[in-house]
Amino acid sequence: MQNRSVATQPFDDQKPGTSGLRKKTKVFQQPNYLENFVQAIFDSLEDITGQTLVLGGDGRYFNRSAIQTIIKMAAANGFGKVIIGQGGLLSTPAASHIIRKNQAYGGLVLSASHNPGGPDEDFGIKYNVSNGGPAPEKYTDAFYQRSQTISEYRIADLPDVDLDTLGEQGDDNFSMEIIDPVSDYAELMQELFDFPLIRDAIASGAITLRFDAMHAITGPYAKRIFEDMLAAAPGSVINATPLEDFGGGHPDPNLAHAKELADTMFGPDAPTFGAASDGDGDRNMILGRNFFVTPSDSLAVLAANARLIPAFKDGLPGVARSMPTSQAVDRVAQEYGIPCYETPTGWKYFGNLLDAKKIALCGEESFGTGADHVREKDGLWAVLFWLNLLAVKGESVSRIVHDHWRKFGRDIYSRHDYEAVAIDIANGIFDHLREQLPTLPGQTLAGNRVKYADEFSYQDPIDGSVSRYQGIRIGFENGSRIVFRLSGTGTVGATLRIYLERYETDTGKHDQDAQQALASLIELAEQLCEVKKRTGMSAPTVIT
């Protein structure tokens, strides 16, 4: 094996967002673009000689080609072994588990998560550290700084690797192990949940299910776990074959993009339970018959019922949510006397809390839920949690959620996204909001008295690091909130996200349509940020 150095020049746009570096696929296909960023990562890491790297992705366009390049660069930079999912496939939570199980140095996950895939769509790459979680900011800052000074990358003259044949290849200096991407993960799920109980509930007909893999990474996982191991009827998993362009669809598990599943669950003869996951398998959507569970409510329901699940039979030490996520889980934590932490958006912020055993359950409003079994959000894990809960309770999804609302009240919640907003306009909106913050507390707006108005910053209780500029919050004395945040997951312009929440204890109002119940807050939010005036958009791009 011969290594060589290739001269290169920096690209000025390689600053990672909340989940790594995401760009249009054609950007990554530019000469040296992928290589520069991977080299910047390797240059920023210490003592990698002889270490093990985990590598895989969600199967989107350019996945296999990028993996071949990264294998050769890993060899040239001194790694001793690379563990790769068969066919180049690994769900993000499975990658996290494999890093942890093998005590690997870290891993590279190739995905743009819920973004579309294909030659004209999106690609992404992120580095996960030795605990299996996304690289914290001190790492991603270092990657970016190195990317701005890079002058060469190192690559080995190796033939392309057979990604489809299981087993180990290579020699004592550098080896590559191709593993079944599903087996280790499926084994872990059996340890966490009561598979015999779920299987019996499915066999009796008490649970009928439909899972939409959206032609993304979770298809093989769902087929193995739901249809093979839990004996759900053949065809319970739909769109199960991972495709490079996700079948032309948008692998984002919400009511708009998972329309086939939604139509089934709100149609005649619907199954009792429906779910979907996203491009890389870390997000989830939960549905009952004619009923949609918001991600914020899902987190709260799981927290309230955790002791019914084998993995949490001794209870939870604490829970955490991202700042824009509704306060529903806070009310559960208060009832059971456990801490609830509020973090910025981005799964990496949960890592220190999980490692320190301050929490064992966490979630985000953007369809992400997870626990201490890995250091990523985990879509199939959340689906199995719900299946286990349904099997224990013998009740419908709707009944479980309504019982929860009766006990804790309902946080009526919605998110309005304005996508592809020009960066200068997005920044202007936030400057306008910041100017108003000092004047808002004490005012009565849309019938609600403002309790606080601030820009959220977070000091990590474990390592003391501070993350600023994490979103603008306006909180009212009656528990309602409006939150404004710019998302870092898109590849074109900026996405302005407006989060709206109203707390309702009257059980007679628990079945209100969220948009109607939040109408006055929606109007107020639009007035405060002037989004329609400044962007020329007449309505949000997506409402969830």
Active-site residues, by number, are: 113
How many Å apart are CA 322 and CA 256, to the nearest integer? 23
Strands 81-89 and 175-179: parallel
Non-local (6+) Cβ contacts of 352 within 8 A are 136, 460, 461, 462, 463
Length of the chain: 544
How many Å apart are CA 542 and CA 544, to the nearest integer? 7
Tokens linked to 528: 């405060």
What type of residue is 21? L
Q: Are 431 and 469 in contact (CB under 8 A)?
A: no
Burial class (CB in 10 A: 0-12, 13-18, 19+), 22: buried
SS3 232: coil
The beta-strand segments (E) located in 113-244 are 122-128, 152-156, 167-170, 175-179, 209-212, 237-238
Place of tokens 């329609």: 532
How many Å apart are CA 216 and CA 285, to the nearest integer? 14
Q: Are 160 and 68 in contact (CB under 8 A)?
A: yes
What type of residue is 190? Q
Of 449, 503, 456, which is closest to residue 483 (Cα–Cα)? 456
Q: Are 36 and 10 in contact (CB under 8 A)?
A: yes
How many Å apart are CA 117 and CA 58, to the nearest integer? 10
Of 326, 520, 323, 539, which is closest to residue 416 (Cα–Cα)? 539
Helix axes 379-393, 397-408, angle to 10 degrees: 90
In angstroms, the Cα distances linking 498 to 27, 65, 233, 363, 471 are 29, 37, 40, 18, 10
How many Å apart are CA 301 and CA 299, to the nearest integer? 6
Q: Are 217 and 279 in contact (CB under 8 A)?
A: yes
